[in-house]
Structure 1
Amino acid sequence: MLETKEWIKRYFEEASDAVLIFKDDELIVCNQLATDLRDELHLDPKYLIEVADASVRQKFSQTDNCFSCAIKNHMQEISVPITLANDMPHPLKYFMIYHVIDADNHVYSLTLKNRGTIQRMDQLAQQRRLNQYVNRAYEEERKRISQDLHDSIAQGVYSAIMGVRRLRDADVSEAEINQLTQVIEQQLDDTLSEVKGMALDIRPSVLDNFGLLPALKVLAKRLEENSGVTITVVGNANTDKLSTNVQSVLYRIGQESINNALKHADANEIEVLLVTHDHYIILEIMDDGKGFNVPDHQGFNGRSLGLMNMNERVKALNGAFEIKSTPGVGTTVTAKFPFS
């Protein structure tokens, strides 16, 4: 038991956060980091209590400024942003956590946590959630491709195989052979077209051979023919100096934005604009569809490239991403990257 207490004491003293424990608003114990802050910054613990007091009063004004009552009756813990050493070249930014230890005896703690550390932890947590989402999205995409291969490509090839087997039948007349040959040829042509369509969806060769703008024009033409919706691609952008990653992301954003407009917006016209300025390149996809409320669609979803994934992929390459949409008016998706 004594050894356990020693471990707890050592953990308390070596904690990476400054911890101060009070009883009846009087400091009774603090760890080494809190002691160092008090000594170096001439920090008065009463000041920290006043900051926490003001924050609680702001949140619970109905308690008539009863600090202890507010904490006891409404919540066990509260977080307050606080900056110390404002007069120094590098101010220290913390979150101060007020935590009730024993409400009946008015014992509580104030813990100063470095804001940079917390933000970094939040970023790591966000990155883990994003990785989980991307993995789910990729898995959904693989399932879709597998389903297409099974339902369409495999069935087309199997039908052609059955037709070839019939050709070996000695009882088939010449007229039947000619008719069957035409059927098999048509089946293989349809299957080949579907394979080419899948290849274009996965990675268009025109993007590698001719660049981003021609690839977007080929994409628009194909989707326009399939949907009947007018899709226009205009621009003056020379993307030769863009990295392959940036071109790929811009193409995917164009592809996903057009597909979203066709599937969900009931658009009559879609315009894609790709232009370069002195220091950046902009891709804009505008539609005249029914629009939507953007905040309602920023979470995780099952699409291959959702709005959140678009944003994260652009930011990872030092770009900027924005979606503007108004119900009943339309949607504009914008991606911007530095350009020289």
Structure 2
Amino acid sequence: MNIKITGTGSYIPANIEKNENFHSHEFLNSDGSTINAPNEVIVKKFKAITGIEERRYAKSHLNTSDLATFAAEKAIEKAKINREELDYIIVAHNYGDVRSGSIQSDTVPSIASRVKHLLRIKNPKCVGYDLLFGCPGWVEGVIQANAFIKSGIAKKCLVIGAETLSRILDPHDRDSMIYSDGAGAVIIEATDDEGGIITHDSATFALDEAHFIFFGQTNNQNSVDNRRYIKMYGRKIYEFALTNVPLAMKSCLDKSGVSISDVKKILIHQANEKMDEAIVKRFYELYNMQMPENIMPMSIGKLGNSSVATVPTLYDLILNGELDNQEINKGDVVIFASVGAGMNINAIIYKQ
């Protein structure tokens, strides 16, 4: 028995937010002081560092649970399964349903229960729950589904990563330009087909790193708005990721018994183009190798950082031939890897 992804789906919101749309923002430092540079320069530097030209925002009437459901419908259709046979619905997110214009996150009932409701699944034995694990949440959901199936308590699982980060952005924070909305989903099941999940690894660094990404007040000290926004210590995250993610990827690959020369693609969380490139280069340096050309597909330039949705969305785009010069064929070995709030890191070695 092998445990494989048998169907994928993604939902990419229709609203495009281009970099030039931020030229009218009043960006401030974290202490409220004025940034000594025009917005055009700020945005240009942002593009050079992150690789982001535009990102997607959900329409105001749609919530995280809606996006998750749209992606799930596609994955179910692709896998050609009866949705009533699903044993688990695992939804990775971080902020729940934040309705447009609201200052409160809505997580009761869970997003997974909402998705099950929207999918009109009647079977009470189909268990839905949410997974909060930062940006690596979808990868961790796949790891949990693998464990359920391997233990014999499940046969088919739906794992979704969905987020509407546009609803929790401080308009006065330069970092707000990195985030976006989206959803990706997969069906995972036991199969006699070759390949599947070979091995995986996860870690949480929380002694000094737990609050590298956090909720904080707006940078505008004169604001009377009491809502809190997603914040991060970018330099600390960069240094942490560059040190720890390559080691975690190597540990996972070495445990799998797969040679690094057999790895065809690395699908890494779309956090920051320069950071991701540095991570993968460092990973290959651990094997005294240069990073192969075209090994790391990227979607962040057009889609931004949608947290838990980036890896499954990227995977779905490639399988559907929607990412230029990228393909994954049967028998190819792929590494899924992510890093994010917690600080959490994980990786999966997967054979298509």
TM-score, normalised on structure 2? Answer: 0.25
- The structure with higher relative contact order (CA 8 Å, sep 6+) is 2
Which protein has the larger Cα radius of gyration, Structure 1 or Structure 2? 1
With the length of structure 1 as denominator, give the TM-score of the two structures: 0.25
